[in-house]
Amino acid sequence: MRISRPGDVAPVVPGSSFSGYERELKGVLQGEPDALHRYRKYARTPEMLHLLDSIEARPFLVVRAAGSQGFDLVALRDRVVLPIEVKSSSQPRIPFAAASGRSQEQYLSLRAQTRRSGLLLLYAYRLLGAGERDPWRLFLAEAPVEDHNRYAKMIAGQLPTVGATSQGNQVLRWEEGKPLLDFLNWVHSVLLGNA
């Protein structure tokens, strides 16, 4: 059992499948002052502190998608639509083939849904106990295809894809992901021009 420390987010809200980590990510993306205040400890430069202020001023609209076969969150802003599947672990690696392959099946289903809709599927991986480092890392489920618009292709250029094992199953390796603050800085300054 993991002992909570001050500033930790509770992993599960009683009576709900909405985890504290999903809530944390949702709060940061939608510019909630309390969530941004807690996240300031990971903003190590004046540029990143300014970014958090920018997010509060011009946040994403974030919708929680309920149900085990849907996405955890969908972030919307201007021309950006980001379906996001949230994962958390105290381990630096999450193999999708674990737990009877349920994550692998879900990955294939969500990837097919987003592909048909011309959207990118993102994975957000929170490493528990990341210390002083930005605990969130972002990944793209797959490289963009012809049907993706130019904004999706620009976003895809910023994110690494979900890894694969030698058996062909997907795996998230936290160290290989894009830090959340780095990605949001790019979105605000380059894609949306609002930094």
Does 182 score more than 60 pLDDT? yes
pLDDT tens-place string over residues 9-43: 434 333 334 589 999 999 999 999 999 999 999 99
Sign (positive or negative) of CA dihedral 53, 26, 83, 172: positive
Q: Encoding tokens for residue 143?
A: 């490289």
Q: What distance in Å separates the CA atoms of residue 74 and residue 64, rounded to the nearest whole number? A: 6
Sign (positive or negative) of CA dihedral 186, 151, 180, 24: positive
Domain 65-191 matching CATH 3.40.1350.10: the answer reads yes
Q: Encoding tokens for residue 60?
A: 């994403």
Chain-centroid distance of CA 45 in Å reads: 21
- The domain locations on the chain are 65-191
Sign (positive or negative) of CA dihedral 69, 158, 147, 77: positive
| Alpha helix positions (H), 77-168 | 102-117, 150-156
Q: Distances from the Cα of 142 to the Cαs of 130, 139, 170, in angstroms? A: 26, 9, 11
Q: What distance in Å separates the CA atoms of residue 187 and residue 194, rounded to the nearest whole number? A: 9
Chain-centroid distance of CA 72 in Å reads: 10
Which residues on adjacent β-strands are paired with residue 177? none
pLDDT tens-place string over residues 139-171: 999 887 776 778 888 888 999 999 999 988 899
Residues 6+ apart with CB under 8 A from 128: 2, 88, 89, 90, 135
Q: What distance in Å separates the CA atoms of residue 92 and residue 176, rounded to the nearest whole number? A: 10
The model's pTM: 0.85
Q: Which band of pLDDT confidence, cut at 50, 70 and 90, is reported for residue 183?
A: very high
